[in-house]
Amino acid sequence: MAISTGLFTEKQLDNFDKITTKIEKNQAKVISGKSLTEPAEDPEKAIKVSALDEKLRQTDNFISNLGKAGERLGVADTVMGNINNILIRLGELAIQAANDTYTEKDRLIIQMEVKELKNELLSLANTHDSRGQPLFSGSSGKEIPFSESLDGSIVYSGNNQRTFVRTTNNTTVADSLSGSEVFFSDLEGNKRVSYFDIVDNFIESLETGKQLLSSASVDEPDTQVIKLNSSDKLNNFSFDMRGQFGLVTVKFVSTNNGISEALAAINLHTSLTGITAQKDASGEGIKLTNVNGEIEISNFSDGSQFGDINNKISIISASGEKKEIVNSSKDISRNIQFINSAQENNELKRAAIGSMANQIQNSLKVNENMRDLFQKSFSDLESADLERIITELQSLLVNRDVARQTYTKITQTTLFDYIR
């Protein structure tokens, strides 16, 4: 019979299992290169590894977002460069159109090109980035921030808020400008108008010359009649009127071609101008009387920034010939100033895009440096000491083999081996 007991066998088998488990863990560490095969081996170290892994994933996410933001700003810069080219061309056309040698036909040809440029500008205003997000809708997310209304005017439906990208858990940087920043400029009196309103005004300014007088004279008061063309809105009309005694600014409200307010406003200044006003025989026009000489009307405004082309003052002769005075902004030469204002705004906003791109790049570099530091710490903490583990593994393998041989020898020994 063999000299052994159940308890001895049980303990030896348990010891073999422990050695085998250690060997398997060490083999796994050698294969993976990691110091831990399970958190229970070193809970404190496992917590540190987990925390570093979370920071690495967050930093990678920041880097990814910043990369996309950089691409978005790159697209915006290209778009604004194209906008600048359109504004330069519009300025050139405005200078050409203001030339007195240009005929009505010449101006209509220019008008056709201006309309095409407006369409190009609208297309640029609705540009999307590589992810399909609109560039200039602010934080509203409107797919089409600029759209054409029934009257042909362009309406902005986004908001004036910029979008931001997170650079750390506590900081963000802007990755866009809103449409209200890019496509609106400040004119005299801090009035904000869109580039599209400026272009529409230019288009209207290129209509026939007779419609676009910014000033005219009533040189035959006895035979000429003044008529007001006003829309159904409350229009705050004003114009400068010069008579025998001097120059005054006449202000009144007109709606639906009404002349009552105009009569009262003109006669209010008779002592300063020498001009009196009364209704003509039809009751729809105004007859002016000056003490001596002609009457000059200039600087007409209907109270809006660019004026409604339908709001005008008509000076009609006995033969029916008309001289029509419209809002002074319709003077072709004024468009040069308006377009220059848009160009200046575009240059400023393009510089702002460049500044944001620099911020994005700086934040990207900071995050990339942080990732490198985290990766090194993570690697140092997680990586196994292969030399030590291999030495330990070899020792375990030797111990296992020796233990097996010893166990086998003991369990195979009988009483007869001792009797001999």
Please give the full DSSP string across 385-407, using - where no structure is assigned.
-HHHHHHHHHHHHHHHHHHHHHH
Residue 295 lies in a domain: yes
pLDDT along the chain (420 residues), means of 10: 56 62 58 52 56 75 88 94 97 91 88 96 94 91 91 91 87 91 83 91 76 80 88 85 92 87 94 92 90 86 80 88 84 87 95 93 85 65 51 58 60 56
Domain identity same for 98 and 68: yes
Angle between the N-to-C axes of helices 195-205 and 104-125, in degrees from 0 to 180, rounded to the nearest 10: 170
Residue 63 lies in a domain: yes
Domain identity same for 340 and 200: yes
Residue 238 lies in a domain: yes
Domain identity same for 191 and 338: yes
Domain identity same for 321 and 343: no
Residue 51 lies in a domain: no
Domain identity same for 265 and 282: yes
Q: From residue 366, give the alpha-carbon distance in Å to each of 74, 371, 408.
A: 20, 9, 63
Q: How many independent structural domains does the chain possess?
A: 3
Q: From residue 378, give the alpha-carbon distance in Å to each of 168, 206, 248, 344, 366.
A: 19, 69, 82, 51, 18
Domain identity same for 26 and 78: no
Instruction: Give CA 390 to chain center in angstroms.
Output: 59
Domain identity same for 196 and 340: yes
Domain identity same for 308 and 194: no
Domain identity same for 61 and 196: yes
Residue 210 lies in a domain: no
Buried b / exposed e over 336-354, threshold 16 CB at 10 Å, is bebbebbbebbeebbebbe
Residue 48 lies in a domain: no
The answer to whether the predicted template modeling score (pTM) of the entire model surpasses 0.85 is no
Torsion angles phi and psi, residue 220, rounded to 5 = -135, 70
pLDDT at 62: 83
Domain identity same for 197 and 77: yes
Residue 306 lies in a domain: yes
Any idea what the CATH number is for the domain that residue 98 is in?
Answer: 1.20.1330.10
Domain identity same for 200 and 227: no
Q: Which amino acid is at 99?
A: N
Residue 312 lies in a domain: yes
pLDDT at 27: 57
Domain identity same for 189 and 138: yes
pLDDT at 111: 94
pLDDT at 29: 53
Q: Are 381 and 52 in contact (CB under 8 A)?
A: yes
What is the residue range of 284's domain?
A: 215-328
